[in-house]
Amino acid sequence: MREWLLPRKMLLIADKAEHMNMAQRVVTASLMLHREKALQRSDLGMLIGRTYLSLACVIIAGASMAQSSGKIRLQIDPPRTFTYKLDHRFTMQEADLELLEGAHHFSFWAPQRKVVDTTITMVGGTDKVFSLRLPFSTEYLVYQRDLRSYRKDMRVQRLLPVSATGLSLIYTAVKFGQLKKAHDKLESDRTAYNDATSPYAITYLKGDVIPVHKDEFDKARSGYRVAVGITVLFAGVTTYMYLRSAKRAKPEFHDAEKVRFDGLSWAPGVNGGEWNCGLTWNFTR
Amino acid sequence: MNRAFLFILPLALSLVGCLKDDVDPAKLTSNPLDQDYDGPALIELVSDTTRIVYDGLNPVDTVVEQIINVRADLLAPGTDYKLYVTLVNTGAVFDYSSEIPPPQDRAYHHVVPGVAYCYDYQLVVQFSRTKAYRFCTTANP
């Protein structure tokens, strides 16, 4: 608090007098500054005169500046990322403050949230808790809606074809397994033919067994070709959908409330609106 | 993703190429017991002859005889077989069935000179017959 109430040099002096109240610190600091300047001029008489004058000022200021302060604790949602401007001048993030009594203006803001302006009146010597939930900004809600829509479209355009392609690949693998099995049967028939020790066994093998197995192989091969065709089709569709969906830009969130909070704002109007810009400089730093 | 498909598709096509159906029953002809066997002859004709059979000094019959050789080395070791011979003459079939005929029956009897007489030779293995090898001899006493 001292940091924004007092000039830097005075702060250094005031730090030495922690036990004083605010008004006493101001006057004491003023007195000590006067003493430093007087010593530089080496004018002892003037120094004594000014010292008495300053002592008089202390008495007068002590009576006239008996303004007390109060403490306030800010409970803001979101608790970690909120920022506020105090009295349109000082940008701060501290949750615990000690303020002079009277009305103080606060502008609260957090990423993705709206700027909320409010005035808090401090009563001297009292502690206060201020709770506020910053509402989400309209831009963020629109961004969330667009993002949901984008993700849904991505699911439809990417996940669905990929899933279909994956299933068709599994189907192809199953069909290949059947084809391999049918092929193995024919290979075993060939081995059985070479090893046959009976003319009848050969006749039965060539007349009955092998034709049946060839038929099974032909069917399995047809099924496998169909499965490969489906997989190729789905792979093509997936590639096309990927390329198509890649052209769609992912929604980006531009926090207009931050611009507003930082001092630059867009005011829409009949003829297109205008930019408004505010500049705040903390001279106490 | 696309690279994965570029890898998967040729793989799938190559797998199809690996699994060609090259088992054709008509082309299976390498087993000597097969009716369609086309390898080295399982039964070979060693010699043939036309012989006059005498009863003392009197000729009683004219017969045609053949001597054949079975290539047992073409069969699997330990294969048990019997010779099956059929006499073929002007449409008539003389079937010796699965019995190996006695030596006196292994001939055409009462042959006519100038006529060709044929024998069908087969092996009987496990109650079924192999390809028939036919050898013909013209009666020429």
Name the β-bridge partners of A73: A96, A129
Q: What is the pLDDT of residue B97?
A: 56
Burial of A109 from C-beta contacts in 10 A (0-12 / 13-18 / 19+): buried
| Interface probe, candidates A203, A208, A240, A243, chain B, greatest B C-beta count within 10 A | A203
Which of B9, B23, B126 faces A186 most closely, judged by CB atoms? Answer: B23
* Confidence class for position A279, pLDDT limits 50, 70, 90: low
Q: What is the pLDDT of residue A25?
A: 40
Query: Which candidate, B81, B134, B84, B87, places its Cα nearest to that of B110?
Result: B87
With a threshold of 0.95, does the pTM exceed it? no
Hey, where are the domains in chain A?
1-66, 69-137, 140-246
Q: What is the pLDDT of residue B104?
A: 55
Determine the Cα angle at A236 with ends A235 and A239, to 5°. Answer: 85
Region A136-151 average pLDDT: 94
* Cβ neighbours of A186 in B, within 8 Å: 21, 23
* Confidence class for position A88, pLDDT limits 50, 70, 90: confident
Beta carbons of B15 and A176 less than 8 angstroms apart: yes
* Tally of CB atoms within 10 A around B75: 19
Q: What is the pLDDT of residue B20?
A: 73
Sort residue A195 into left (φ over 0), alpha (ψ -120 to 50) or beta. Answer: alpha
Determine the Cα angle at A234 with ends A228 and A239, to 5°. Answer: 125
Chain A closest-CA separation from residue B130 CA (Å): 6
By the CB < 8 Å criterion, does B35 face chain A? yes
Length of chain B: 141
d(CA A132, CA A108): 9
The CA distances from residue A45 to A25, A36, A51, A123, in Å, are: 26, 14, 10, 44
Architecture field, domain A69-137: Sandwich (2.60)
Tell me which residues of chain B have a pLDDT lower than 70.
Answer: 1-18, 21, 90-91, 94-107
- ipTM of the predicted assembly exceeds 0.85: no
* Confidence class for position A185, pLDDT limits 50, 70, 90: very high
DSSP state string for chain A: -HHHHS-HHHHHHHTT-TTS-HHHHHHHHHHHHHHHHHHHHT-HHHHHHHHHHHHHHHHHHHHHT---EEEEEEEEESTTT-EEEETTTEEE--SEEEEESEEEEEEEE-TTB--EEEEEEE-TT-EEEEEEEPPBPHHHHHHHHHHHHHHHHHIIIIIHHHHHHHHHHHHHHHHHHHHHHHHHHHHHHHHHHHH---HHHHHHIIIIIHHHHHHHHHHHHHHHHHHHHHHHHHHHHHHHHHHHHHTSPPP----HHHHHHHTEEEE--TTS-EEEE-----TT-
Beta carbons of B135 and B68 less than 8 angstroms apart: yes
Tens-place pLDDT, residues A214-244:
999 999 999 999 999 999 999 999 999 989 8
B98 is written with which tokens?
Answer: 């699965």
Q: What is the pLDDT of residue B66?
A: 87
d(CA A117, CA A22): 28
* Cβ neighbours of B30 in A, within 8 Å: 194
Share of chain A above pLDDT 90, in %: 49
Positive or negative CA dihedral for A248, A253, A259, A265?
positive
Beta strand extents in chain B (DSSP E only): 43-55, 58-70, 82-89, 92-95, 107-108, 116-125, 128-129, 133-138
The whole-chain average pLDDT of chain A stands at: 78
CA A273, chain centre distance (Å): 29
Chain A residue at shortest CA distance from B34: A199
Residue B98: strand, helix, or coil: coil
A114 pLDDT above the threshold of 90: yes
Q: Which helix (H) or strand (E) holds B18?
A: helix B2-18
| Interface probe, candidates B14, B23, B38, chain A, greatest A C-beta count within 10 A | B23
Record: contact A235-B5, CB cut-off 8 A? yes
Strand ordering across the sheet containing B58-70: B43-55, B58-70, B107-108
DSSP state string for A168-199: HHHHHHHHHHHHHHHHHHHHHHHHHHHH---H
Give the A:B interface size as CB pairs under 8 Å: 90
| Interface probe, candidates A179, A202, A213, chain B, greatest B C-beta count within 10 A | A202
Beta carbons of A28 and A14 less than 8 angstroms apart: yes
Beta carbons of B70 and B45 less than 8 angstroms apart: no
Q: What is the pLDDT of residue B108?
A: 72
By the CB < 8 Å criterion, does B98 face chain A? no
Residue B15: strand, helix, or coil: helix
Which of B15, B23, B129 faces A189 most closely, judged by CB atoms? Answer: B23
Q: What is the pLDDT of residue B112?
A: 87
Determine the Cα angle at A150 with ends A146 and A154, to 5°. Answer: 170
Chain A closest-CA separation from residue B118 CA (Å): 23
* Cβ neighbours of B125 in A, within 8 Å: 197-199
Q: For residues A89 and B16, which has the higher predicted lDDT (pLDDT)?
A: A89
A177 pLDDT above the threshold of 90: yes
